[in-house]
Chain A
Amino acid sequence: MSGGEFEPRIVVFACNWCSYAGIDLAGTSRIKYPHNVRIVKVMCSGRVHPEMVLKALEEGADGVLITGCHPGDCHYISGNYKAMRRYLLLKKLLGELGLSDRVRLEWVSASEGERWARVSSDFVEHIRKLGPLRLKEVMEGE
């Protein structure tokens, strides 16, 4: 696959209370965001287990974007802090595995449709530059 044709496949985990509503707002406000994202709604960013992120990469995602409420705004008080700590450690682990920069955590509130569009476009472009991951193919090939 040449760089020009490559369309990144991005899995997004979006929390029910802030980020998913923010993405929805982008939609109803007709703010454009890239079609590369596959959005999975979860109740809280603190529910996103590292296993889910690794599974997404293993099954063919080129990048994973976790989104949640801004610090202090979590519907469940501290779920986003849990997400942050897990993410930081996961980022370090992925760096060791040669996969740094494939996963990102961003805070998107329910009123930030614009921010969502910016955050998702940035991430898609970033992954586009990195190129396709094709994890299974690379790891299982000879």
Chain B
Amino acid sequence: MTTFQILLSSLLALLVLAGISMMSRVKTAVVGNLLSAFALLVGIVATLLSRQVFSAWTIWPALIVGAWIGSLMARKVKMIQMPQTVALFNGLGGGASALVGLLSVAGVGFSTQQSASFADGSSDVFVRVAALLAVAIGLITLVGSLVAAGKLHRLLPQKPVVWPFHSLFTLLFLLLTVVLIVGSACCSPASFGGIGGRMLIIGIVVCSSCFGLWFALRVGGADMPITISLLNSLSGVAGAIAGMAIGDIFLVAVGGIVGASGLLLTQIMCRAMNRSLVSILTGGGRRKNSIKEPKLSEEMLETEGMTKETEQELINRIMDLEKKIKELEEMVRSLEERVQSLNQQVDALPAASALKEEKEEETPSAAGVLSRAKDVIIVPGYGMALAQAQYQVRQLADKLESRGARVRFAIHPVAGRMPGHMNVLLAEVDIDYEKLFEMEAINDDFAKTDVVLVVGANDVMNPAARNAEGTPIYGMPVLNVDAAPEVIICNYDLKPGYAGVENPLYSREKGVYLELGDAKETLQKLMSEMA
């Protein structure tokens, strides 16, 4: 490889970096994407030229077929299917890297000059290990992504699938893959060329594929965004390592960039969910240790080093408080009854008919609350994606705005099945992105707003996350929906979300309106009632 080629590779890698950094701002994102694509195109042409393979006819039909299928899918796929599409593409990239690794470990595809340098054995082991690593990581990416895509496309069960001795096998396959790669590094070139080498390669293929299958099957719905992001990072790493095997700087650089940024994105999401990557890969260990609450509070006190007496005292006080709350609740109920009976008496008066319209507005209904609101925050979740209710959400937002209300959207970092899932869906229906707020930016405003409208979100606004220790969502930052005076919940049902934790908001007595059913229909109903 000449100096010129190295310079060109670096330049292209810088172009890719520039493209990515432009993609991190909305205004320059489109140009950034085109820039990265352009850099990649130049990279392909440069490879064709520098390796002098223009005349290799087999390249062209494969390239054309792949490009045709890819473009077709890019145009036809629905926005709602975006997560599985990204997962699928990602897997294919990983598969390609694995094949490149296989080819180079078979010693195919090196120019004579390169092969000559192998003769002294200096870079032989390096190439072999790199190629086998590319095979392993590429296959993990391929199989893992296919499983993820299958789950997102509902071909496979969305719930975590756990086979007997699942963790053991997962670990075993990973260890075996590593051991086999290390083992092959220790082989002499002669012995690796024989049947033993082939067995090693087959072993690596089988073990890494099984690892991909085992770990991806265990991931459930809500952890999907993180898994996809991780697989995305892995496919970059697979590419980079394949690049090491065949000695292509451009491939190494871009693969490295993708791998690192994918990993960072994964980290950001893990933090947002308050979960460690390891616990996701090993099946979210914390869910198993969930302890029943009373036992838990006792344990908590003990660990804080309190004596039995203070403990008892505290428990007594809590019980007293609970009693008082119950008394107060009963007082409220009796007051409400009195108000009702008074209302009925007033209704009986002849002048009541004139007042009837006003009175109707007074009875609390979700639609009434919405029509009076001047400041509304909408919280979308995976349910909105499932019901494809983003169009209705848009209509409702328009309607509210036409009445002079301010409408904002609160987006939890892990709402949906993919990072930024909600943003894409809302952008699809032309909702201005300046109305979309990240959790940190809007969380203090929930207390000040008039109404919060929840559309198909549960775990991301479950107040239990703050205090239900031992549950999978404990400690996860949530949207402060419970701080709002009025909350309208358009969820399909009241079942706990993926995390399996009851949402205390559902049973709040005041200011919560449950509109259960398909969000498309409930939103439609809300709109018609508002009119």
Task: Tell me, yes or no, whether A binds B.
Answer: no
Task: Give residues in A with beta carbon < 8 Å to B.
Answer: none
Binding site for A on B (CB under 8 A): none
